[in-house]
């Protein structure tokens, strides 16, 4: 090998190491546990950062290392307290932009305000679009989101968005359980596509749909079941569990229609208000969620099973950094 070729190979190796060293990972205060797991998967530490509040409640963020020319990934689900966590994410993005980061990716395991994704009545705000504008204007170059409430939110961003799903983690869990006489149930008509994809991965399990009519926000009136559930073990599939009113009424209806064991699963455990008391009733055999949102210890109950999406997010971050395919992970 010639001397010039050796120099070229050496330069390429140095460039590869340099690119790897440019990856930086930081966490907001919303879910440090998940961010720590992601960092462990990537074989690195979370970057040092100061987060504090002034006396009047204002948030302060300062990055504690040089990130000039680096690819920065900021992990922050916008969960409760929603406005504080969203504002912290925006400040983190702005701090990285002003610190001359080469590329800033907002990793948002749970995207808030997603339910206001269109106008259903006059004089309403489309808050999902507003939040997208805020994140973009703050200086993010890319967004990595998990299980958006509706797929159309991807189009609200004028920057690249990678949309990943928590379903592979939940599917692996149920496949290992080998539940017999299984039927996958969508808790409403809007979730049919999600439930159908879930059922297909479970050996083409039959699908049922709960027809419901919502009278007000967080209030659901269940009407009837479309499909056969008698004598079967049902899995209710949703993207999030908020007050659990929909799931509880759905599970009761399934029981009434002759279903045996009722399982519930969702990516995001929002668990607002009476959710825990509803889910811990004897109606559910098991409630399976992921750790996109941290669950306080006093919100745990015997039927709850929490699965980690850290490896999934970590692999996605690495693929984005290496300019590799993300979609192939879900085929």
Q: Active-site residue 201, yes or no? A: no
Q: Pseudo-torsion of CA 182, 187, 193, 194, nearest 10°?
A: -70
Which is catalytic among the residues 177, 200, 201, 212? 212
Dihedral sign of CA atoms 54, 58, 64, 68 in order = negative
Q: How far apart (Å, rounded) are the C-alpha atoms in residues 195 and 205? A: 10
Q: How far apart (Å, rounded) are the C-alpha atoms in residues 321 and 319? A: 5
Alpha-helix residue ranges (DSSP H) falling in the chain: 3-21, 32-42, 82-98, 127-138, 167-177, 192-201, 245-256, 275-279, 310-321
- Other Cβ atoms within 10 Å of 135 Cβ, number: 24
Q: Is the peptide bond before 293 cis (omega within 30 degrees of 0)?
A: no
Strands 233-241 and 182-186: parallel
Give me the active site residues, please: 212
């Amino acid at each position: 090998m010639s001397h010039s070729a050796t120099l070229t190979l050496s330069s390429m190796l140095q460039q590869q190491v340099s690119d790897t060293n440019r990856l930086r990972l930081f966490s907001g205060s919303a879910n440090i546990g998940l961010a720590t797991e992601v960092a462990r998967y990537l074989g690195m530490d979370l970057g040092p950062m100061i987060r504090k509040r002034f006396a009047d409640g204002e948030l302060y963020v300062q990055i504690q290392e040089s990130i000039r020319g680096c690819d920065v990934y900021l992990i922050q689900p916008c969960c409760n307290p929603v406005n504080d966590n969203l504002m912290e994410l925006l400040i983190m993005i702005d701090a990285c932009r002003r610190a001359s980061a080469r590329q800033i990716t907002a990793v948002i395991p749970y995207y808030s305000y997603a339910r206001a994704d269109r106008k259903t009545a006059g004089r309403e705000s489309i808050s999902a679009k507003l939040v997208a504008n805020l994140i973009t204007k703050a200086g993010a170059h890319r967004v990595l989101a998990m299980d958006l409430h509706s797929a159309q939110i991807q189009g609200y961003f004028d920057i690249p968005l990678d949309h990943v799903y928590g379903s592979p983690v939940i599917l692996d869990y149920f496949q290992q359980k080998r539940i017999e006489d299984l039927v996958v149930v969508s808790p409403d008509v809007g979730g049919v596509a999600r439930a159908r994809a879930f059922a297909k991965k479970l050996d083409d399990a039959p699908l049922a749909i709960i027809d419901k009519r919502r009278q007000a926000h967080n209030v659901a009136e269940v009407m009837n079941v479309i499909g056969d559930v008698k004598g079967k073990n049902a899995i209710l599939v949703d993207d999030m569990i908020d007050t659990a009113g929909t799931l509880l009424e759905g599970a009761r209806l399934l029981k009434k229609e002759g279903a045996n064991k009722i399982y519930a699963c969702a990516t995001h455990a929002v668990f607002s208000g009476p959710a825990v008391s509803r889910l811990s009733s004897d109606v559910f055999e098991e409630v399976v969620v992921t750790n996109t949102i941290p669950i306080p210890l006093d919100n745990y109950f015997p039927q709850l099973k929490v699965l980690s999406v850290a490896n999934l997010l970590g692999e996605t971050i690495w693929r984005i950094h290496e300019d590799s395919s993300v979609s192939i992970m879900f085929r």
